[in-house]
Structure 1
Amino acid sequence: MSTSTDRGYGFEYTNIQEGMTILNGTVGPETQTWIQRTGNPKYNSLSVNEQQAMIRAARTIINFLTEYEPWLLNGGIEIAQVKAAGGSTDVSDVRFTGLGQSVGLSLKSNHDAVRHPRVSPTIDIAHQWLGVNTDQRYLGEVAEIFNNFTSFCEFNNVERFNQLSNEQKKNLLYSPITACFSDLLLRVFNGPAGPDAVAHFLRYLIGDRDFYKAKADFNRGELLIEAYDFSGTMGPRHRLRMPTRCLEVIVEPGPTGLYNYINITFDRGWEVKMRLHTARTAIENSLKWDVQFVGTPRDAWNTRIRF
């Protein structure tokens, strides 16, 4: 069974390859290096059935793009694996550029997370997420949580997260971190910088460039494609409106009873769910968020296509 990372990179590789074939596109040196070192090896680690399903899905996606972005058929298209090309503020995985136009493609393979940011005592999370300086209250609380956790692990010779019970993870990490982080969000969103922080938060999650998101359900053979178009220039010409205020921030239990979820509701139909989890097996002073949109405006453009 392949890992989710193998499938994710394999799916990106397949879309680049199909883009090169259908669009007669080219790739730059950074993407070529990524293909050789990461994309091709991850694709080759997949089963034949997984590879064939990804080819069908990628071919469907590229043909969809040519229907709504017909300029892609005019030639001279360069295809980039975004992270390989240094696209830090672009949440797309693959970007197609040519003739002064560009369109991004965010690919999801049986999952829907948009970002995987970290939380630790050294990360200025409010500056990163909200565009404001992190207050001393949050910094002090997070430092104390991780210091207590480190002391507990050292005293009990705990070296791996899987040595901890769910109750220990909940009490030592998940509950206190989600509590102080949700309090920080409420203080900022309800403060004088609230409207700007809301806009910054959404831009942090979706980047600063418009894109299509294509989520492939390989079990059902179906694609859900959504247009994240904030400038009104993408093919469907259906502009999304950014939220202006936060309505609610709630900490919620997960399926195993760990209080490691935060649900954030904004106006205009936007809703974000964040899941806190351990990023690695070994104990470290860092956890990771899986962040996904569970609510977008009702009039957001999307379509479902079989492959």
Structure 2
Amino acid sequence: MSVNSNNQGRAYEYAWMTALLELLKPLRKTDVVYNSSYEANERAWNAISQEKQKLYTTSANAAVNTIVELEPMMDENSVDTLLFEFQRDEAGENGDVRDIVIHRDDIDWEIGLSIKHNHDAVKHSRLSHVLDFGKEWYGVPCSHDYWNDINQVFELLKCEKDRGTAWADLDKKEETVYVPLLQAFLNEVTRAYRENPNIVVKMFEYLVGVKDYHKIVSHDSKKMTLIHTFNLHGTLNQPSAVKVSAFEVLTADIPTEIIAMRFKKNSNTTVEIYMDNGWAFSFRIHSASTVVQPSLKFDVQFISTPVSVMNIECKWH
């Protein structure tokens, strides 16, 4: 992710924190946990133009009432304090994809929000000659066969890097780079799954997250904010002592099997993994650099989610 995109994402998170506080402060006792992430997000907010601040505020305000309606525990007027905290970056390394965590200080309850600005990506992961995706994604180190399969590709990329070759000028990159790397990736996941079917759950948690959350995506060009509910463990949408949500957020079953893995039809840059219980993902390989580097990125997107993942469209006013 570029520095500019990262700052815009942080600023949008700050807009959401502000919108939540402005809505809930008149209704109940609230407080903010100040940490390094808060400081970074506040700096990002102050660094963007007033026009962008207005845009992000409009986007957050379009959906903030729906989030509170989804979570009656947030606006319950009790004597305890509703705490808002920006998640530290290290949490994402441990599979917690939430950007804002909201909890109450006297009961065992919390929810999280994953906040995205103008992109729906599930994950941005890397492949390189040293990164062990098997160990990182599902706890099983990649085999010798995998390292042997990718070695020739990355040796080529290292040579082209030393020459200063631009990606746009690299000949036959689909044939010599993308296809062999994607095939090695598919072969390795197939091998690991055959030996240990339990990797499916770990791989899913790496991609989607280990905690329940509402995913919020701003689509500025459509003037729309989307909410996707990832209620994987049944912790979202809890009733308060006085209110039940107008929405019923079902628990989504976590996958336990891989149904199919293949190249996307008519594509040399994307592979697809289909799991049971309605989950499917696409993995598009690409370079994030203009000059050849011995490292490539996956843009991971959902192909499908189960019907129990609620999708709510909130149009801007």
> What does residue 278 of structure 1 align with?
287
Q: How does 1:253-268 map to 2 (within 5 A)?
A: 259-268=268-277
CA distance in 2, matches of 1:77, 1:40: 25
> What does residue 184 of structure 1 align with?
188
- 1:37-80 CA-partner distances (Å, limit 9, x unpaired): 43432xx14x61x4323212212332222112122224623323
- Cα-Cα RMSD: 2.4
Tell me the amino acid that sits aligned with residue 102 of structure 2.
F
Deviation of the 1:153 alpha carbon: 4.4
> What does residue 82 of structure 2 align with?
77
2:138 to 108, 111, 130: 130
> What does residue 216 of structure 1 align with?
218
Higher relative contact order (Cα pairs below 8 Å, separated by 6+ residues): 2
- 1:249-302 CA-partner distances (Å, limit 9, x unpaired): 112378xx6x11111111111110111111233432211111121201133323
> What does residue 68 of structure 1 align with?
70
How many residues in Structure 1 have an aligned counterpart in Structure 2?
Answer: 293
CA distance in 2, matches of 1:54, 1:35: 13
For the 8 Å contact 2:126–2:298, the answer to whether it is kept is: yes
The 3 A distance-change label for structure 1 pair 85 and 266 is: closer
The normalised TM-score by structure 1 is 0.86
For the 8 Å contact 1:199–1:242, the answer to whether it is kept is: yes
Deviation of the 1:180 alpha carbon: 0.6
CA distance in 1, matches of 2:46, 2:152: 44
The unaligned stretches of length 5 or more in structure 1 are none
Structure 2 residue matching 1:97: 3-state secondary structure: strand
The unaligned stretches of length 5 or more in structure 2 are 26-30, 238-247
For the 8 Å contact 1:30–1:84, the answer to whether it is kept is: no
For the 8 Å contact 1:34–1:84, the answer to whether it is kept is: no
CA distance in 2, matches of 1:198, 1:85: 23
Q: How does 1:72-151 map to 2 (within 5 A)?
A: 72-73=74-75, 74=77, 76-84=81-89, 86-88=91-93, 89-99=95-105, 100-151=108-159
> What does residue 287 of structure 1 align with?
296
1:298 to 302, 307, 311: 307
> What does residue 193 of structure 1 align with?
196
User: Percent identity of the aligned residues?
Assistant: 25
> What does residue 15 of structure 1 align with?
16
For the 8 Å contact 1:149–1:172, the answer to whether it is kept is: no
> What does residue 168 of structure 1 align with?
172
1:240 to 238, 252, 259: 252
Q: More deviation in 269-278 or 89-98?
A: 89-98
